A and B are shown apart, each in its own frame.
Chain A
Amino acid sequence: MRRQVLPSKLDPTSDHFQRNRDAVLERLEELDKLLAAARAGGGEKSVARHHGRGKLLVRQRIELLVDRDSPFLELSPVAAAGTEYEVGASTVAGIGVVSGVECYISGNDPTVRGGAVNPYTLRKGMRGFEICMRNRLPHISLTESGGADLPRQSEIFLPGGASFRYLTQLSAMGIPTIALVFGNSTAGGAYTPAMCDYTVFVKQRAKVFLGGPPLVKMATGEESDDEELGGAEMHSKISGLSDYLAADELDALRIGREIVANLNWKKLGPAAAEDVEEPLYDTEGLLGLAPTDLKIPVDMREIIARIVDGSRFHEFKPAYGVNLITGWASLVGYEIGVLANQQGVLFSSEAQKAAQFIQLANRHHVPLVFIQNVTGYMVGKQYEQAGIIKHGALMINAVSNSTVPHITLQIGGSYGAGNYGMCGYAYRPRFVFIWPNSKTAVMGPQQLAGVMSIVRRTAAQAAGKPFDEQQDALLRKAVEDQIENESLATFTSGRVFDDGIIDPRDSRTVLGIALSAALSAEVKGAETFGVFRM
């Protein structure tokens, strides 16, 4: 056998397991509420009004666009959670299969403030373009939006222009861009279909112009109506902005499917193995493994055994740098390298091991999966003097310059530079998903509040002022609460610092979809890295 089966010693009856399970189920309930809010869109009235116009909801459009019974992985479904905007940020985005092709699909939700773009919609959209570009995924827009949320236009106008640059750059890269226009797409929005390779306009619905009748009247005095300025028939028969005139929404979706079927699309990554073994152990176990108390370490091998094919794993350097597990496995038939934090702390040996392993994966052209539960690099005199920064830099250098696909799964904490070394958001993983119990911050809330307290005390002493212990305790508590709140999964996911919170039991499925999508692009390992400081 190429790889040994990982044994499992998990005891589902243990208190520890039950505590974790109860806690993560509670978080999942919170997540479900947010997802339900996202699905509800603009609320019952708005949905009824939309249906009343004979229109399909954005999720219905997507369900009809994708191949029947194929999976659909919604990305950042709780974007804008915890902000003044509706959960979901008035768009639905995800990876779906259209006519046998994995595509990135993004649709405006016109029931939410007319599908207006807010700063989180923009972030979600930009992340989508990056995903398409890096993973070579066709980009399909289901367009129906009133444009920018005007009170916040200052945050949208300048960065938002990148949408159109991205669209044409995708096209230049040979990555197809398709716009199905179901309704309004005016002013700046008019460039969305205009920059796409293929456009489909729905008859009597699509409305695409730079300026509507009132603006035209103001600008030139000309009398005109919507249809003359931007109707589907006009654009299909006269201006040529529309490539296909769809009789109705269903027809547009049918045409969209046919367009994709005619792209002559071939994935460039390695093919999956024919026969795939499912993991040997029940994925329910992952609920009991989800760490709620970050002080208690988790056996990452138990988690790996519930994610990879056949629970088989070939561990690399098992006796060295034991706080970080590295090794080879396969996931839904694709070869992967795994880096997982067995103990939260990274020492020099772990950093060096990671740098070596990442280079090997690049040599073998094998994608990497990072499984994070990391508290950071070790601090202290001994470690600083032994070069912990230097070794951390090795790891960050390797992660940054590696060109094989990286997919990151955060199953617990992710603190400090450990987040960077383990391919956090800023290190541009192809996809990054987090478990609902995840916590992310520069450091733990208690440490952070404590550090701030020490700084205050030192400052008071230096100034010779008395130190108010009571006041300090209150401040510490307030800071701790704030940091704790901002490190929660719903907070980071709401700000689109990941691609979504997932049910731990879905880890294999989500990573499988993400990996398969990433392999639409060629996998080619890096030949050069930054200068390694030895």
Chain B
Amino acid sequence: MTVSSINKILIANRGEIARRIMRTCREMGIATVAVCSNPDRDAPFVKEADEAVPLGGTHPSESYLRIDAIVDAARKTSSDAIHPGYGFLAENAAFARACQESGIGFVGPSAEVIAAMGSKIEAKRRMQIADVPLLPSVEVGNQPADQVLRQAEPFGWPLLIKASAGGGGRGMRIVRQAAEFASLIETARRESQAAFGDAAVFVEPYVEAARHIEIQIFGDTHGNVVHLFERECSIQRRHQKIIEESPSMALDDALRRAMTSAAVRAAKEIGYVNAGTVEFLLTPDGKFYFLEVNTRLQVEHPVTECVTGLDLVRLQILVAAGEPLPAEVHELAMHGHAIEARLYAEDPRQDYLPSAGRLHRFRLPAAAGIRVESAVGESAVISPYYDPMLAKVIVHAPTRVEAARRLRHALARAQIHGLSTNRELLVRTLEHPDFLRGQIDTRFLERHDPAALAAPLGDDHAERLHAAAAALASQAARRREAKVLDKIPSGWRNNPSQFQQTRFLGHGGEIAIEYRFQREGLQLRIDGHEQPHVRCEVATPAQIQMHMAGIQRTFAVHCVGNTFYVDSPLGSSALVEIPRFPVPQDETAAGSLVAPLPGVVNEVRVKKGDTVSAGDVLLVIDSMKVFHWISAPLSGRIAELRVEAGNHVDGGTVLAVIEEF
């Protein structure tokens, strides 16, 4: 193949990586084809593709994991190659093989290499040949647990059980004492079998305070293998990277040389072609050990792009087209420092529970050196079926400290409305003294309480000011929408007796805002406290500019339903307005069920003592030739049933009495 033979690429992926790949394709003059599941039909990556083939289905198994359907889509659209992105089929040897057999180019290594590296046990064997430092390990195979334990115990405690076919933490178990060893081996085997269809597990020493360092490698079909320096990905939550950077503070020139050359040896040993990553553990004493090879483009590849100035997707396509790696990859230097943060729709305070639903606004401030790889547009529905990553935010700056500060600022000032995200956790990590000193390892988020790191960025005082801004913005919206007397000053009174009142529910509880505009200006009370010297310079539904205690601040306000999202230099708040009037009560729902009109009881569907839920149909009355369904006004137990089928009833007759629980 030559470069000119790739004129159209199908991207077998979704979200930000699909958009990322398409961007390079466009720059290279290559047409793009998207594939998509049902929930993704309106996603930005589908709209941005030249063509799109809906795969139908919802779950990955019904869509992005369907090898046949995707190869068929490539054929149908005359795509020359498929880029698998990361995740889904990216490291699926069968998929690479299917492409090969259909004469469609696969942007990645060969099926054989994928298969070999997909087995951790096999990978370790090959690495040993290449003289890559390895942790000692015991293959469990069919050995009884006590036999395995005898071989592994000399490694020292704790031990780590890993699935050979594993990834993402599944099939992985830390063992701290001999007593739980046997049962955890079984758990890991079962989990591995269920997740990967392979029960093979092995045991390694568990390195407690290791850093995660990985080397980006690249090979072409002409026998060239190069490295593109390291990335450090030590900040992880539940074995998933959330902050990645390059270079690593932990590497000096000698260690960098040792690790990169080990990675290149590893790549050469397996005849690696295209982009790959060799992952290592780096212990506090400066020793490094092979972890695994990722045979794909990594999520965190942008940090390498920033410091090397290369476009890794472009290199991937060139290599896939049979081109040799361009000359510049042989004379690389690292420039500045890059950090990537992965923004997830999840709640770190609830054990990283993914938050699906509507993202009402996603806006990052434009800033120099900030690159955003986003899966979503300004708003989106985040479905529960896929990885909840909203975007990657990458910064490139002259120094690490500057990079961390810029990234922190961009994230802190982002407007993210409607879903919980890990934004606060990222911000607090990036400003953490340990992080800034480079004192990081893969247990950073175990040492530092994620719930504390994820608390709202503004304090209670900020939230109260935000509530004031929300009240004034909502005032402006009402004045703008007023159909009459809209040109008259807001809330004007010739005999003023009270303030306009708004109450919100915020993170710190209820907040009462009272205000009025008088000839002298704005009068504002927060929780009953008069705010002296307040001036409101700008009041629109979306923006409030307020002077308070000698400081002017601008608040961005976004109202969705009865929720106000307020962003300012003080932080971000989501405030729910408490309605002025309570929800109307159903006056007739007093436990007893009354016939609405005279008629004959046609059917009784419950008996005394039954448990019923509000809305359940209890009886049917036939009146004036029409059936009337009588349903339970509340949930409870049938305490009395006063009628049976065939009874005549008058309007107002009590039919049954429900006892509320």
- What residues of chain A lie closer than 8 Å to B584, measured between beta carbons? 247, 251, 254
Given the known A-B contacts A38-B495, A69-B500, are A254 and B485 also in contact in the complex, defined by CB atoms under 8 Å?
no
Stretch binding the partner chain, chosen from A127-135, A151-159, A312-320, A498-506: A498-506
Q: Which residue of A has the minimal Cβ distance to B479?
A: A69
| Contact among B487, B491, B492 with A276 in the assembled complex (CB-CB below 8 Å) | B487
Question: A72–B485 Cα gap in the complex (Å)?
Answer: 10
Question: A101–B483 Cα gap in the complex (Å)?
Answer: 8
- What is the distance, in angstroms, from A73's C-beta to the closest C-beta of chain B? 6
Question: A513–B485 Cα gap in the complex (Å)?
Answer: 7
Cβ-defined contact, B491 with A69, below 8 A:
yes
| Contact among A69, A267, A506 with B484 in the assembled complex (CB-CB below 8 Å) | A267
- What residues of chain A lie closer than 8 Å to B581, measured between beta carbons? 64, 250-251, 253-254
| Contact among B475, B483, B500, B519 with A100 in the assembled complex (CB-CB below 8 Å) | B483
Given the known A-B contacts A68-B475, A97-B482, A247-B587, are A73 and B494 also in contact in the complex, defined by CB atoms under 8 Å?
yes
Cβ-defined contact, A516 with B500, below 8 A:
no
Cβ-defined contact, B498 with A71, below 8 A:
no
Question: A72–B498 Cα gap in the complex (Å)?
Answer: 12
Within 8 A of B (CB), among A16-69: 35, 38-39, 59-60, 63-64, 67-69
Question: A70–B500 Cα gap in the complex (Å)?
Answer: 10
Given the known A-B contacts A102-B484, A247-B587, A254-B581, are A74 and B490 also in contact in the complex, defined by CB atoms under 8 Å?
no
- What residues of chain B lie closer than 8 Å to A112, measured between beta carbons? none
Question: A59–B497 Cα gap in the complex (Å)?
Answer: 7
Cβ-defined contact, A71 with B488, below 8 A:
yes
Question: A100–B585 Cα gap in the complex (Å)?
Answer: 25
| Contact among B478, B489, B495, B519 with A77 in the assembled complex (CB-CB below 8 Å) | B495
Within 8 A of A (CB), among B453-492: 475, 478-479, 482-485, 487-492
- What residues of chain A lie closer than 8 Å to B493, measured between beta carbons? 71-72, 74
Interface size on A, residues (CB 8 A): 41
Question: A249–B378 Cα gap in the complex (Å)?
Answer: 43
Most buried by B among A71, A100, A247, A276: A71
- What residues of chain B lie closer than 8 Å to A74, measured between beta carbons? 493-495
- What residues of chain A lie closer than 8 Å to B326, measured between beta carbons? none
Within 8 A of B (CB), among A462-521: 500, 502-503, 505-506, 509-510, 512-513, 516
* In the complex, A333 has a CB within 8 A of chain B: yes
- What residues of chain B lie closer than 8 Å to A67, measured between beta carbons? 478, 482
Question: A68–B490 Cα gap in the complex (Å)?
Answer: 9
Cβ-defined contact, A100 with B484, below 8 A:
yes
- What residues of chain B lie closer than 8 Å to A516, measured between beta carbons? 484-485, 488
Cβ-defined contact, B494 with A502, below 8 A:
yes
* In the complex, B582 has a CB within 8 A of chain A: yes
- What is the distance, in angstroms, from A89's C-beta to the closest C-beta of chain B? 14
- What residues of chain B lie closer than 8 Å to A332, measured between beta carbons? 487-488
Q: Which residue of A has the minimal Cβ distance to B487?
A: A332
- Report A280-304 CB contacts with B as 1/0, cut-off 8 Å: 0000000000000000000000000
Most buried by A among B485, B490, B498, B580: B485
- What is the distance, in angstroms, from B475's C-beta to the closest C-beta of chain A? 5
- Report B46-82 CB contacts with A as 1/0, cut-off 8 Å: 0000000000000000000000000000000000000
Question: A272–B498 Cα gap in the complex (Å)?
Answer: 30
- Report B493-534 CB contacts with A as 1/0, cut-off 8 Å: 111011010000000000000000001000000000000000
Interface residues of B, dominant DSSP = loop
Q: Which residue of B has the minimal Cβ distance to A253?
A: B581
Cβ-defined contact, B485 with A71, below 8 A:
yes
* In the complex, A404 has a CB within 8 A of chain B: no
- What residues of chain B lie closer than 8 Å to A254, measured between beta carbons? 581, 584
Most buried by B among A72, A332, A505: A72
Given the known A-B contacts A69-B479, A69-B490, are A102 and B485 also in contact in the complex, defined by CB atoms under 8 Å?
yes
Cβ-defined contact, A68 with B495, below 8 A:
no
Question: A267–B484 Cα gap in the complex (Å)?
Answer: 10
Q: Which residue of B has the minimal Cβ distance to A71?
A: B492
- What residues of chain B lie closer than 8 Å to A195, measured between beta carbons? none
Cβ-defined contact, B495 with A505, below 8 A:
no
- What is the distance, in angstroms, from B642's C-beta to the closest C-beta of chain A? 20
Question: A272–B488 Cα gap in the complex (Å)?
Answer: 12
Question: A505–B587 Cα gap in the complex (Å)?
Answer: 48
| Contact among A100, A333, A510, A512 with B494 in the assembled complex (CB-CB below 8 Å) | A510
* In the complex, A181 has a CB within 8 A of chain B: no
| CB within 8 Å: A-B pair count | 92
Question: A74–B581 Cα gap in the complex (Å)?
Answer: 24
* In the complex, A245 has a CB within 8 A of chain B: yes
- What residues of chain B lie closer than 8 Å to A333, measured between beta carbons? 487
Question: A332–B489 Cα gap in the complex (Å)?
Answer: 11
- What is the distance, in angstroms, from B138's C-beta to the closest C-beta of chain A? 71
Q: Which residue of A has the minimal Cβ distance to B586?
A: A247
- Chain B residues touching A, range: 20 to 34
Cβ-defined contact, A512 with B498, below 8 A:
no
Question: A247–B585 Cα gap in the complex (Å)?
Answer: 7
- What is the distance, in angstroms, from B653's C-beta to the closest C-beta of chain A? 15
- What residues of chain B lie closer than 8 Å to A276, measured between beta carbons? 487
Question: A415–B542 Cα gap in the complex (Å)?
Answer: 52
Most buried by B among A70, A72, A512: A70
| Contact among B485, B489, B490 with A97 in the assembled complex (CB-CB below 8 Å) | B485
Q: Which residue of A has the minimal Cβ distance to B516?
A: A69
| Contact among A39, A100, A503, A509 with B489 in the assembled complex (CB-CB below 8 Å) | A509
- What residues of chain A lie closer than 8 Å to B487, measured between beta carbons? 272, 276, 332-333, 512
- What is the distance, in angstroms, from B252's C-beta to the closest C-beta of chain A? 64
Most buried by A among B482, B492, B494, B581: B494
| Contact among A35, A77, A250, A512 with B488 in the assembled complex (CB-CB below 8 Å) | A512
- What residues of chain B lie closer than 8 Å to A60, measured between beta carbons? 498
Within 8 A of B (CB), among A245-266: 245, 247, 250-251, 253-254
Most buried by A among B475, B484, B581: B484
Cβ-defined contact, B484 with A35, below 8 A:
no
- What is the distance, in angstroms, from B522's C-beta to the closest C-beta of chain A? 13
- What residues of chain B lie closer than 8 Å to A72, measured between beta carbons? 492-493
Question: A71–B478 Cα gap in the complex (Å)?
Answer: 12
Within 8 A of B (CB), among A423-439: none
Q: Which residue of B has the minimal Cβ distance to A248?
A: B582
- What residues of chain A lie closer than 8 Å to B494, measured between beta carbons? 73-74, 77, 500, 502-503, 506, 510
- What residues of chain A lie closer than 8 Å to B485, measured between beta carbons? 70-71, 97, 102, 512-513, 516
Question: A502–B494 Cα gap in the complex (Å)?
Answer: 7
Q: Which residue of A has the minimal Cβ distance to B585?
A: A247
Question: A416–B587 Cα gap in the complex (Å)?
Answer: 60
Question: A272–B484 Cα gap in the complex (Å)?
Answer: 9
- What residues of chain A lie closer than 8 Å to B585, measured between beta carbons? 247, 251
| Contact among B491, B582, B587 with A71 in the assembled complex (CB-CB below 8 Å) | B491
- What residues of chain A lie closer than 8 Å to B488, measured between beta carbons? 71, 332, 509, 512-513, 516
- What residues of chain B lie closer than 8 Å to A512, measured between beta carbons? 485, 487-488
Question: A251–B585 Cα gap in the complex (Å)?
Answer: 9
Question: A13–B577 Cα gap in the complex (Å)?
Answer: 49
- Report A348-362 CB contacts with B as 1/0, cut-off 8 Å: 000000000000000
Q: Which residue of B has the minimal Cβ distance to A60?
A: B498
Cβ-defined contact, A39 with B495, below 8 A:
yes
Question: A68–B581 Cα gap in the complex (Å)?
Answer: 12
- What is the distance, in angstroms, from A480's C-beta to the closest C-beta of chain B? 32
Q: Which residue of B has the minimal Cβ distance to A508?
A: B488
List the 9 closest A-B pairs by CB distance, nearest first: A71-B492, A254-B581, A59-B497, A71-B488, A332-B487, A74-B495, A69-B491, A77-B495, A69-B475
If A74-B493, A100-B482, A332-B488 are given as contacts, then 9 extra A-B residue pairs at C-beta distance below 8 Å, sorted by A number, are A39-B495, A67-B482, A70-B478, A74-B495, A101-B484, A250-B582, A253-B581, A254-B581, A512-B485
* Cβ contacts A to B, 25 pairs, < 8 Å: A35-B495, A39-B497, A67-B478, A68-B475, A69-B479, A69-B500, A70-B478, A70-B491, A71-B485, A71-B493, A72-B492, A72-B493, A73-B494, A77-B495, A100-B484, A247-B584, A247-B585, A251-B584, A254-B584, A332-B487, A332-B488, A505-B519, A506-B492, A506-B494, A512-B487
